[in-house]
Amino acid sequence: MAYFGNNPQRGELQELYADLNDLNFEKKKEAVKKVIAYMTVGKDVSDLFQSVIKCLEFNDIEMKKLIYLYIVNYSRQKPDDAIMVIQNFRKDVRKSENPLVRALAIRTFGCLRVPKLNEYLIEPLKDCIQDDDPYVRKTAVLCVPKVYEVSPEICPPLLEILQKLLEKESNALVLANLIQSMREIEVVSGKQIINLNQKIIQKLLLAVDECIEWGQIFILDYLATYNPQDSKQAEVIIERTLPRLSHINPTVTFCAVKVILKYLDFLDNGELVKNLCKKVAPSLISLLSWNQPEVQYTILRNISLILQKFPILFENDVKVFFCSFNEPYYIKYEKLDIMVRICDSKNFAQVLNELLIYLNEADPHFVRKTIKSIGKIAITYDKALDKAVSILVEFAKNIQSPTEPVQELLIQMQLIYKKSKQMYKHEDSLKVIYSIIDYANESESKSACAWIVGEFGEFIPKSVEKMKEYIDNFQMEDRLVQLQLLTSAVQLYLKYPSQCSALIQQLIVSAKDSFNPDVRDRTYIYWRLLSTDPEIVKNLVCFNSGTFSNFSKDLRLWETQDLVLALENMGSISNLFHKLPHQLYKNIKIKVNNQQEVKIYKGEEKPETQVKEQQDENQQNIQKEQQQDIDLLNFDDPPVNNNKNNNSNKTDLFELI
């Protein structure tokens, strides 16, 4: 049989037409198969519609399925022809004693998606929802959202039947599909369709034990969006969900984790919460070593959320996130990210030792990300600073070409020096870094180098010559580099006025007519200031700041108030991209989180949640301020307590101009 043949030429279509109308059954069947093959590769065979549906007369189930597939595909193009099939469907639904045939008919009927045909569908669909056979019932139940999508106006009576079924249905599989079907309608309509009561919840919990894995997922997923009335109810639901942690399907386990974590907030009993955490953690860890990397990836992407709300779960388990040599890189990236988040003032040495190994990996992106992670840890944890710098310096010693990791190394070293200027002494780091400065070839790393030359001019041999080299190439640089060069050159000028005066002249000449207004403006500001009062400039560009204590980075990914909602959606696509559903999907309504206070679950020794939260908040604000400074004028991060001083400088400056 030709599968990937050429286009169905006119002759071929005619041949098919002849075969379809042949009296020989086998010939007909082969022809139908051929038609489907053409359809698969995207060829238009809709012209054969009439001949194909005529083949329905035969009572052959395989052929019936193929013809139905064909009808579903072309019904929208040929609505008038599709009407002819309706009698067939109705006959199958009403008369066939075979439940599989009844289900097949109603399933396909629902897929036609032709509005004017749907009115013929309502009555048989009602019958099927109340069919004796659960297989037919579950198929019919899933048919309702199909109809709703195309003709919502004729659906209200169907919805009533569904709600009634929800109350009386006893088959677990039908129930699970019913819940999912109603949720689909809720998504399309934006209205709440499912009305829960105590009895239904009980039934759903029972059904979880009895139905197939997908059904369990539907029900658990749904329960995660429900808010229990009280601690007692939360406890019952958790209790019924716990066994699911041992299911072999990782998604069932994951959904169970989701439900349990969500309901923890509603429990009064602190001891119980702790015990539950102990049960959830190993289950989650097993999922992380699941042998399907794609599944692992989705779990990892969700861990950041879990980590933020439940640091207690992975307290002593940083090892779980160590990368394995043969893993796909998309997994390694996620693990790296998580390791930085999980790192704290106690386990940083362990993490850094591990990151050290990754510096040997072959993939430059991965090495780059590792260096960035080391930098992040250095900046976040004071205690880690020395060790991190040693690692980076050791890495720098072996550099022989302008690779990607080198760029990141320079950027991170700049940040580390900004945090603690004294670090330049550590293991001669400045000397080593200066030796690789010529390997910078990205604007950000170049600007970092310019900053280093300006800031440490007095410790660097031939710093003025280096600066001259940069300024000679000034026109070719990116805006970011140009801005930094201006500041750094001025800084150097203040350190070596006589040697640099020609240099500054040259710089001003090449920068004052820049097309970029930022560069131009900064040039003029420095120029005027230098010609009026160099002392003010000194205050502006040189700080003997010592160590910044507020440099700490905020590693949180989610806004604290979003945590509860995000948790409800754990495992979803939006969550995978670290967003709330309405941020990714325009048609989803913003859901408001009614819980006032977001609980964070930590281990025992750590300080009070509330205080820590506030600190975080403060740090974030401070960081924002700092960032503004960097963005606007690149004032080399004035220490916050100097703010007032700084402001007065600024006013002076304006008066002067």
Q: Backbone dihedral region of 546: left (phi > 0), alpha (psi from -120 to 50 degrees) or beta?
A: left
42-81 residues near another protein, rule: CB under 8 A: 42, 59-63, 65-66, 68-69, 72-73
Q: Tell whether residue 332 is a contact of another protein (CB under 8 A).
A: no
Q: Tell whether residue 6 is a contact of another protein (CB under 8 A).
A: no
Q: Tell whether residue 139 is a contact of another protein (CB under 8 A).
A: yes
Pick the binder of another protein from 154, 159, 536, 584 (CB under 8 A): 584
For the record, the structure tokens of 521 come out as: 């403006």
Q: Tell whether residue 107 is a contact of another protein (CB under 8 A).
A: yes
Size of the site for another protein (CB under 8 A): 108
Whole-number minimum distance, CB 162 to another protein, in Å? 14
Q: Tell whether residue 246 is a contact of another protein (CB under 8 A).
A: yes
Count other C-beta atoms under 10 Å from residue 71's C-beta. 23
Burial class (CB in 10 A: 0-12, 13-18, 19+), 399: middle
Angle at CA 90, nearest 5°, toward 86 and 91? 115
Nearer to another protein, 406 or 430 (CB): 406
Q: Which residues are within 8 A (CB) of 418 and not within 5 positions of it... i.e. 6 or more apart?
A: 548, 551, 636, 637
Whole-number minimum distance, CB 425 to another protein, in Å? 27
Pick the binder of another protein from 126, 160, 549, 577 (CB under 8 A): 577
Pick the binder of another protein from 14, 98, 195, 645 (CB under 8 A): 98
Q: Tell whether residue 657 is a contact of another protein (CB under 8 A).
A: no
Pick the binder of another protein from 28, 244, 309, 372 (CB under 8 A): 244
Nearer to another protein, 280 or 416 (CB): 280
For the record, the structure tokens of 301 come out as: 């992407």
Residue 229: what residue type?
Answer: Q
d(CA 352, CA 546): 25
Q: Tell whether residue 198 is a contact of another protein (CB under 8 A).
A: no
d(CA 379, CA 297): 28
Nearer to another protein, 339 or 415 (CB): 339
Nearer to another protein, 224 or 413 (CB): 224
Residues 231 and 266 sit within 8 Å (Cβ to Cβ): yes
Q: Backbone dihedral region of 68: left (phi > 0), alpha (psi from -120 to 50 degrees) or beta?
A: alpha
Dmax over Cα atoms in the chain, in whole Å? 105
Pick the binder of another protein from 282, 534, 546, 603 (CB under 8 A): 282
Q: Tell whether residue 187 is a contact of another protein (CB under 8 A).
A: yes
Residues 583 and 558 sit within 8 Å (Cβ to Cβ): no
Q: What is the DSSP string of 269-288?
A: -HHHHHHHHHHHHHHHHHHH
140-159 residues near another protein, rule: CB under 8 A: 142-143, 145-146, 149
Q: Tell whether residue 536 is a contact of another protein (CB under 8 A).
A: no
Nearer to another protein, 52 or 540 (CB): 52
421-450 residues near another protein, rule: CB under 8 A: none
Residues 109 and 75 sit within 8 Å (Cβ to Cβ): no
Cα 85–chain centre separation: 45
Nearer to another protein, 145 or 311 (CB): 145
Nearer to another protein, 484 or 569 (CB): 569
Whole-number minimum distance, CB 285 to another protein, in Å? 7
3-state secondary structure of 217: helix
Q: Tell whether residue 335 is a contact of another protein (CB under 8 A).
A: no
Whole-number minimum distance, CB 65 to another protein, in Å? 6
Q: What is the dihedral angle through the alpha carbons of 588, 589, 590, 593, rounded to the nearest 10 degrees?
A: -100
Pick the binder of another protein from 124, 311, 454, 581 (CB under 8 A): 581
